[in-house]
Each structure stands twice: as C-alpha cells, then as structure tokens.
Amino acid sequence: MRYYWIFDTPALVGHANGTSNRVRAGLLVLLDEPDFQLTVPALCLAEAYQQTPAETHHLLDWLATSPGVVLEPVGDDPREMAALGELIAETGRPGAAHAAHLALAGDGPCIVFTDEQLPAGVLARPA
C-alpha cells in the first residue's frame, strides 16, 4: 500500500522561509520508506511562489524537482475540474482546494500538511 504526503501552501511557504521542518521531515522519510509518495499540488506551489520573496524561490525549485517528489498538475478532465471548482468555492483558497482534491482522489492513506484550518467537511470522503 502506498501512503501519500501532500504539502499545502503553508507547508511550502514555511519551507521556503525556513520556519517549518515538515518538508525536510517528509524528504527524510522518503529516503527510508519506498511506500511513501511526497506530493506537491501545482496550485500550492504557485501560491508559495507568490507568497515568498524571490530570493527563497530556489528552495521551492529544489523541492519541486527532487527525486521522489511528485508535482501534481491541476488536470484536464472536466469532471475533475468541476469537483475542484466546488472545493475552491468552499475553501476560498485554490491551493487548499487542490490539496484536498488530491487527498480525496487518492487510492491510499493520505496526510495533508498544512498550518491552516480547512472548513469542516472539506476532507470528508463522500459516502
């Protein structure tokens, strides 16, 4: 079984600003655990670039291109975009919605690393 770690915008911003060790911890786990996948949603990465100074962008570049890290694109399936649009409307945050969307669509246990609270029910799987 594969386990998924998804990094939300605040985790990426914390990594770039040096205020969070979550990304580094995830990369260390990845070295020892082949069943883990570290995922960076494209919308979270875009928001992180927007929210951090240019002199820290090399840290985001490095993370997005590190072996074992998967940069997840937004997608091209209209049904998926409709679901993502609903999550964006609910959260008001495109990056958080993309992270939640990936968590809900995953085929295994998932941890979303975030420093912010998402509205209740965003990560609840439909019955």
- What is the pLDDT, as a whole number, of residue 122? 46
pLDDT in tens, 8-56: 888 889 889 888 777 777 777 766 777 777 889 999 999 999 999 999 9
Return the DSSP state at 37.
E
pLDDT tier at 114, thresholds 50, 70, 90? low
**Taking the model in full, what pTM does it have?**
0.80
- What CATH number was assigned to the domain covering residues 3-113? 3.40.50.1010
Residues near 52 by beta carbon (within 8 Å), at least 6 away in sequence: 13, 16, 17, 60
Query: What would the mean pLDDT of 73-99 be, rounded to a whole number?
Result: 90
Q: What is the residue extent of each domain of the chain?
A: 3-113
